[in-house]
Amino acid sequence: MTVMAERAQMLVEDFERIAEFAAKETDDAVRFEFINGRIGVKKVPDGDHNTILMWLNRRCMQSRPDLDLYREQGLRVERYREGRARPDACLAPEEHFAGHGEWADPKGVLLVVEVTSYDSDTDRRDRKEKPLAYGAAGIPFYLLVDRDNCTVTLYSTPGSDVGYHNILKEPFGAKLLLPDPLNIELDTDRLKRWVD
């Protein structure tokens, strides 16, 4: 039995031109990504979404002041770097992205973070496509803050064909340890405040 690969909607270079044009014309009202050969649209984050990211930023700065939590940094992901993702946040060494363009190589990124949005394709995008893309790119950890299910999921041990080999899902309220080399403990009880 032969499995047919889906054809990409367009070349990645064409996507980059469209994303750049759209950002200028819409004042960043939406953000575009190119994962698995398809354009995806990310809604602009709401106040609770941003509050969760600020909470995470404070936790990271308290535990690891040598790391920066970058918001909305574009990354080249997927096999052969033919995808373009804009995670809600990336944890990387201080000044890691200095001198990089809009779409940076993910090498050196320690953790990517997504906070689910209340839109129709969040299941496909955040729970299925992104773990595969981030794992294939070799990013050590992917943290999904799932406001629909009130869970935090930590994906670890990336693999090029499977995304991640290890998945740990905890309910809001649990303590979650982001292991070596991060060594950051998150008390997720406060996340209960920021779900609809």
* pLDDT tens profile 44-80: 667 898 999 999 999 999 999 999 999 989 999 976 5
- pLDDT the model gives residue 18: 66
Is 56 part of a structural domain of the chain? yes
Within-domain flag for 39: no
Total count of domains within the chain: 1
Q: Is residue 130 pLDDT above 80, yes or no?
A: yes
Which CATH number characterizes residue 175's domain? Answer: 3.90.1570.10
Task: Kindly list the strands in the beta sheet with 111-115, ordered across the sheet, starting from the edge strand earlier in the chain.
Answer: 67-71, 89-93, 111-115, 141-146, 151-159, 163-171
Domain-embedded: residue 180: yes
Average pLDDT, the chain: 85
Q: Is residue 30 part of a domain?
A: no
* Residue 36 is assigned to a structural domain of this protein: no
The pLDDT of 95-118, averaged and rounded, is 92
pTM flag (> 0.75): yes
Q: Is the dihedral of CA 156, 128, 72, 85 positive or negative?
A: positive
73: nearest Cα among 35, 132, 33, 17: 33
| Band of pLDDT at residue 35, cut at 50, 70 and 90 | low
Q: Is position 23 within any domain?
A: no
Which residue did the predictor score with more confidence, 149 or 11? 149
Contacts of 51 (CB under 8 A, 6+ apart): 194
Domain that holds residue 173: 45-194
Average pLDDT over residues 103-113: 96
Assess if residue 31 is contained within a domain: no
* Residue 22 lies inside a defined structural domain of this protein: no
Q: How confident is the model at residue 186 (pLDDT cuts 50, 70, 90)?
A: very high
